[in-house]
């Protein structure tokens, strides 16, 4: 499929992607049910808040969008995606990105965007370095493929299995050096408290109780604990 994209572009790749994703959608019963449940809750919440969704929600399209995001990672590292041409800035974002500053910035990202695409785009801004915290237990096979195609994709990755004081100190050093640090908000480390329980805070989300993981940053200078 990557060879098809390399020599034929995005359209042939997308046409080939539809049947491939269909196989995963049909055989992945647990993932399909989770997707359908999620989309149903989103629809219910949107109706209650009288929010118009951009289009009919569909579980197959949910799977398809995830696959397209994987292509976006590859395309961005190949230089096929460009800021201002393929990706637009949110209002005010370009000024923040291009503004000179001595201190770095901490980005809490979501899967609405793509940290790896942002890191590739950062190469287009002189002097901007974006480090990404990654948890290597997730999608290691795809990372290996990505780094084979674009070896520079492995640069400025910070693999972690536990977020503790040593990780926080490293993050602080990156920020003090003027570099940016990006963390995907729905990724958690595998560390656990005593007794094996994760550090979570329960809150209502889309009308149902949901556990939100607490991430503690022990800042090097003030030793203050911040949870988010």
pLDDT, mean of residues 91-104: 73
For position 221, what pLDDT does the model report?
Answer: 39
Sign of CA dihedral 93, 87, 71, 78: negative
Which residues are within 8 A (CB) of 189 and not within 5 positions of it... i.e. 6 or more apart? 135, 160, 161, 162, 163, 215
Model pTM above 0.85: no
- Of 217, 197, 213, the residue nearest 205 (C-alpha): 213
pLDDT, mean of residues 121-143: 70
Q: Which of 23-37, 132-146, 199-213 has the highest mean pLDDT?
A: 23-37
pLDDT surpassing 90 at residue 25: yes
For position 59, what pLDDT does the model report?
Answer: 94
pLDDT, mean of residues 11-22: 93
Q: What gap in Å lies between CA 87 and CA 114, rounded to an integer?
A: 11
- Of 124, 184, 116, 186, the residue nearest 155 (C-alpha): 116
pLDDT, mean of residues 19-34: 95
Q: Which residue would you say has higher pLDDT here, 60 or 138? A: 60
Q: Report residue 183 CA to chain centroid gap.
A: 8
For position 195, what pLDDT does the model report?
Answer: 46
Site of tokens 């919440």: 45
- Of 91, 89, 84, 24, the residue nearest 60 (C-alpha): 24
pLDDT, mean of residues 165-181: 83
Residue length of the chain: 228
Question: 33-46 pLDDT, tens per residue?
Answer: 999 999 999 999 89
Q: Sort strands 216-218 and 225-227 into parallel, antiparallel or unpaired.
A: antiparallel
For position 80, what pLDDT does the model report?
Answer: 79
Neighbours of 181 (CB within 10 A): 21
């Amino acid at each position: 499929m990557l060879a098809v994209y390399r020599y034929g572009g995005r359209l042939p790749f997308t046409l080939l992607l539809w049947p491939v994703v269909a196989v995963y959608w049909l055989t992945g019963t647990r993932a399909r049910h989770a997707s359908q449940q999620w989309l149903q809750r989103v629809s219910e919440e949107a109706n209650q808040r009288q929010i118009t969704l951009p289009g009919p929600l569909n579980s197959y399209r949910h799977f398809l969008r995830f696959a397209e995001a994987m292509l976006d990672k590859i395309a961005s590292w190949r230089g096929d995606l460009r800021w201002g041409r393929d990706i637009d800035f949110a209002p005010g974002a370009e000024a923040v990105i291009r503004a000179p500053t001595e201190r770095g910035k901490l980005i809490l990202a979501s899967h609405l965007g793509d940290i790896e695409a942002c890191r590739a785009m950062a190469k287009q801004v002189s002097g901007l370095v974006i480090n990404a915290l990654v948890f290597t237990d997730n999608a290691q096979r795809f990372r290996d493929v990505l780094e084979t195609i674009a070896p520079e994709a492995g640069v400025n990755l910070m693999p972690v299995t536990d977020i503790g004081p040593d990780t926080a100190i490293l993050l602080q050093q990156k920020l003090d050096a003027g570099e940016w640090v990006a963390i995907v908000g729905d990724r958690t480390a595998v560390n656990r408290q005593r007794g094996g329980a994760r550090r979570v805070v329960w809150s209502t989300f889309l009308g149902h109780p949901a556990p939100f993981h607490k991430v503690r940053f022990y800042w090097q200078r003030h030793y203050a604990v911040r949870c988010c």
